[in-house]
Structure 1
Amino acid sequence: MKILIQQLARLGDIYISWPAVRALRRQYPDAEIHFLTRPRFEGAVQGLTAIDRHISMPSGSILEPLVQENPDIAGALAKLENFIAPLKAENYDWIINLTFSPFSSYLTHALSTENTRVSGYSRFDDGYFRPCDEMSAYFYAQVGIGKANRVHLADIFASMLNLEYVEADWATAEGITSDIQLPEGYMVVHVGASERQKALSSFTWASALNAIAAERPNTAVALIGANSEVIQAQEIIDQCKNLRFFNYVGKTQISDLFAIIQKADLLLGCDSAPIHVASLTDTPTLNISVGAVNYWETGPKASLAFILRSEQETAQLGEKIGSVVNQLLSGVVDQDLIVRSSGLASYAKEDETAADAFQWNLVQAIYLGMPYPMADRVEIVQAALKLNEINSFIMDQIALIPSVGLERVAPLIEQGEEIIKTVSRIVPEMSPLINWYHAEKIRIAPGSQEEIRSATLQVHQAFAQQLQVYIPQEEVQIAEAKDGTL
């Protein structure tokens, strides 16, 4: 079997993919596994011995004709075709797209043949979006900022591929060496983040480190980061006088991260790749989560992993970080920390509201067969009634298509769909169910008008069944009486 795994996202996402790749190798020991990344992040496959071949997609070269004063679309497409043609000739038996992006879905479709098994995002032959399996449909419907998912991305990968992890899947890099030399007993601080808005200022990091130094003078601190963070690292050092710094910012290869992080007493960092390296080296980790971050989806997975959550960077955050670190190094867990746990959700949602809990429980009911959450607001029941009414109306219009034609009923169906979207905004508790409904409709394959009509009707019927949980029994009896079933 020949397998292609696409991971065209950023550095941290590649490291999150490592356990799934290793589990896949265990499941298919004789398979030939190829791993596709962008050139900028190709260093993140060093030490991943579970793959047979690494392929680097020349995205910069492909896009170059499009960023000229007079964009050359034909030239860009020709370069893309030159990249795709030899890959398609590999005749992959299975293409696994771990990227979940529009571009990756087009690439997956371009590389697939009619006999290729596909997992993740792809496209139908008519170009419309296609989540190829239950878990990629789940990702489309429930994962992302403002949505209800609590499942870590690494666990989503495993579920999508029907794999179960073992301890060996979460292991450090193999077969790479580093000249990095550090003393016994040190902590690592990653001064940057995956995105600027998720990073801390030099002042906040210095405040944190000075608070640590006040109780633990002469502590050894290894600073890591990218070339773009060299100035910030020096600013931190200049503001801290009672610590021993080992400054590796802008001076290391990606593979050096494992050597620096593996033996550390603690890694401090915001949302970033080192957090995920620490998950592989099982290094105790404090993740400073700032801004629009779903930490339950991308937080650290080390055995001792903690999250300090702040909606925004404040003047007091640095001192709080320092206090938390001093307690952790003394074996005490601050009450404000979010602690990693076992189970489906790696982390509980901070300051969970009743609406948050309802949405997550509804997700588990829809996808895992768990009990449906009780409606604790009359608005939830009202929303279910309205959704049921609109859904019934749409089904009536769908039933009319053979006799009156699609063109006549399409505007009415579109109006109904707009109302369903509005309900999702007004009563967010119902959004997981509405998101599931939209994802199921997207999964309908191209076909004849009758095939599409029949498949669409089935989705609406399934939607109606889900809604019945929140429809008062007397309303059901009234509806049945109107239908002449009583």
Structure 2
Amino acid sequence: MKILVIQLARLGDIYMTWPALRGLRRMHPNAEIHLLTRPRFEGAVEGLTAIDRHLSLPVSTILAPLVQEEADVETSLERLNSVVEDLRAENYDWIINLTFSPASSYLTHAIQGLSTTVTGYSRYNDGTLCLADEVSSYFYAQVGIGKANRVHISDVFASMLDLQYVEQDWAAPALGNTAISLPDCYMVLHVGASEKQKSLSPQVWGRVINYFSKRYEGLPIVLIGAPNEMALAEEIQKAAPQAHFVNLVGQTKISELFSVIQEAELLVGCDSAPIHMASLTDTPTFNVSVGNVNFWETGPKASLGFIYRIEDEASLVPERMGEVLALLLEGQVSPELITRTGGLVSYDRPDTVIERFQWDFVQALYLGGAYPMAERIEIIQGAIQLQDINTFAMEQIALVPEKGLQLIGPLLDRAEEVIQNISQMVPELSPLISWYQAEKVRIGPGSLGEICAAALNVHDRMARHLEAYIPHEALMQEEEGVDGTL
């Protein structure tokens, strides 16, 4: 069997893919496994022995003709077609797209053959999105910022491949010794983040370290980061003149950080690749989660993983964070910290009533769990409204073969608007509406009759999910008809 795994996201996403790739190798020991990444992030593949071949998608080369003074679309397309033809010529038996992006779905479709099994996002022949497997549908519906999902991305990958992780899947690579000189005992601080808005300013880091260093006087702090973060490291050192720093920012390859992180007492940092590298070295991790980040999906997976959640830098009291850091090294877990746990949900943090309902609803929709109890009358009212518009939509879809889509289409569009509005007014019902929208996307090309039948099936299943929240009297009236006769 010849397998291609596509991971075109950033460094951290590639490291989160390592356990899945190792599990894939265990499940298919004789398979030829290729991994496709972007050249910019190929350093995250060094030390990964689970693959037979690493391929790079030359994005810059493909796009270069488009960013000239006079865009050369033809040359860009020629280069893209050449890459696609080379990949298609590999004749992969199984393509696994772990990127979950529109661009990756087009690429997957372009290189798959008639007999290729595809897992992850792809495209139908008419160009519409294809969610061929259940996990891809789940990802489309429930994963992302503002969604109810509580499953870590690495565990989503495992579900896609139908595998169970073992301890060896979460291991640091054997890269040998480096020439880096380190203290016997130290803490690591990554000075940057995957995106600027997810990071803290050098001045805030300085205040955190100033307070921490008073408690842990003499404990060296090893600074790590990319070459473009060297100025940040210098500012942090100026802001915390009493601390003992070892500045390695811009002086290491990405793979060399494994040995630095592995021996640390603690890794501290915002959302970035080192957080996920620490999951592979099982280094205790203090993840500062800032702003528009879903820590449920991308937080640390080290056994001792802790998340310090803040909405923005302005809401942070740096001295308190320094104290929490010091207490953690003394073995005390402060109440502000979100702690790592086992099981389906990776972290222990109290949910709001709405968040708890949403996650329980997701489990009911996908895992056969019990429907959560409606504790607000608005949920019942929203469910009744949703059932009414769902019934209306089914009635209109049934009329499409007779009256045509041109006449019925605007009515169905209006029904979709109402359904989306209910999702915003009654957030508890949003998981069901996201499920519904994903199931509609899954309806592939076909004749008008086939598409209508598939759409009616989706609406019928939504009606059955809603029954848990429709009072018995309302169901009886719907079954008997408006005039009360069967």
Give the TM-score, by structure 2 length.
0.98
What are the superposed Cα offsets for residues 113-164 of structure 1, whole Å, 9 maximum, x if unpaired? 1111111111011000112211111111011111111110000000111110
Judge conservation of contact 1:46–1:176 (CA < 8 Å) in 2.
no
Name the residue aligned to 2:345: 345
Matched, 1:194 2:220: no
Residue 168 of structure 1: aligned partner: 168
The 5-angstrom pairing of residues 339-418 of structure 1 reads 339-349=339-349, 352-418=351-417
Residue 271 of structure 2 corresponds to residue 271 of structure 1: yes
Q: Distance in 2 between matches of 1:210 and 1:118?
A: 52
Alpha-carbon contact 1:47-1:176 (below 8 Å) kept: no
The C-alpha deviation readout for 1:349-400, integer Å capped at 9, x for no partner, is 56x3211111111001100111101111111111111111111111111111
Q: Does residue 233 of structure 1 match 2:236?
A: no
Number of equivalenced pairs? 485
Structure 1 gaps, min length 5? none
Residues 148, 362 of structure 2: 8 Å contact kept: yes
How far did 1:316 drift? Answer: 5.0
Tell me how far 1:485 sits from its aligned partner.
7.1
CA distance in 1, matches of 2:475, 2:435: 23
Give SS of 1:41's match.
helix
Partner amino acid, structure 1, of 2:165? Y
Does the Cα contact within 8 Å between 2:282 and 2:303 map onto a contact in 1? yes
User: Do 2:97 and 2:108's aligned partners in 1 also have CA atoms closer than 8 Å?
Assistant: yes
Amino acid at match of 2:317: L
What secondary structure sits across from 1:306 in the alignment?
Answer: strand
Looking at structure 1, the residues matched to 123 and 485 of structure 2 have their Cα atoms a distance apart, in angstroms, of 42
Moved more, 189-198 or 236-245: 236-245
SS of the residue corresponding to residue 375 of structure 2 reads: coil
SS at match of 2:254: coil
The 5-angstrom pairing of residues 9-408 of structure 1 reads 9-314=9-314, 316-349=316-349, 352-408=351-407
**Percent identical across equivalent pairs?**
57
Distance 1:302 1:105 in 2: 31
**Deviation for aligned residue 1:94:** 0.5
| Aligned residue in 2 for 1:427 | 426
- Answer whether contact 1:445 1:452 (CA < 8 A) is retained: yes
CA distance in structure 1 between the aligned counterparts of 2:147 and 2:485, rounded to whole angstroms: 39
Q: What is the Cα deviation at residue 450 of structure 1?
A: 1.1
Rounded Cα–Cα distance in structure 1 between residues aligned with 2:243 and 2:434:
51
| 1:366/1:478 CA distance change after superposition, 3 Å | same
For residues 253 and 332 of structure 1, do their structure 2 counterparts lie closer, same or farther at Cα, with a shift above 3 Å needed? same
Q: In 2, Cα distance between the equivalents of 1:178 and 1:276?
A: 20
Q: d(CA) in 1 for partners of 2:316 and 2:121? A: 43
Q: Distance in 2 between matches of 1:315 and 1:292?
A: 14
Query: What's the offset of the Cα at 1:103?
Result: 0.3
The question of whether the paired residues in 1 share the 8 Å contact of 2:310 and 2:316 is answered with no
CA contact (8 A) 1:204 1:315 kept: no
Question: Aligned letter for 2:162?
Answer: N
- CA-to-aligned-CA distance 1:171-225 (integer Å, 9 cap, x gap): 0013454222212110100000000001011111111111121012111111001
Tell me the alpha carbon deviations over residues 17-74 of structure 1, each in whole angstroms, 9 at most, x when there is no partner: 0000000000000000000000000000001000000001110011111112222222
- Assess, with a 3 A threshold, how the Cα gap between structure 1 residues 455 and 316 changes in structure 2: closer, same or farther: closer
Q: Letter of the aligned partner of 1:258 in structure 2?
A: F
Root-mean-square deviation (CA), in Å?
1.3
Distance 1:292 1:404 in 2: 46
Structure 2: gaps spanning 5 or more residues: none
Does structure 1 conserve the Cα–Cα contact (< 8 Å) formed by 2:401 and 2:448?
no
Deviation at 1:477?
Answer: 0.8
- Residue 111 of structure 1 aligns with an amino acid whose one-letter code is I
Per the TM alignment, residue 12 of structure 1 is displaced from its structure 2 partner at its CA by 0.3
Helix, strand or coil at the partner of 1:243: coil
Partner of 1:451: 450
Q: Distance in 1 between matches of 2:301 and 2:315?
A: 29
Matched-pair contact (CA < 8 Å) for 2:12–2:276: yes
Distance of 1:16 and 1:367 partners within structure 2? 23
> Letter of the aligned partner of 1:381 in structure 2?
I
Aligned-partner Cα distance in 2 for 1:291–1:415: 34
TM-score, structure 1 as length reference: 0.98
User: How many angstroms does 1:406 deviate by?
Assistant: 2.2
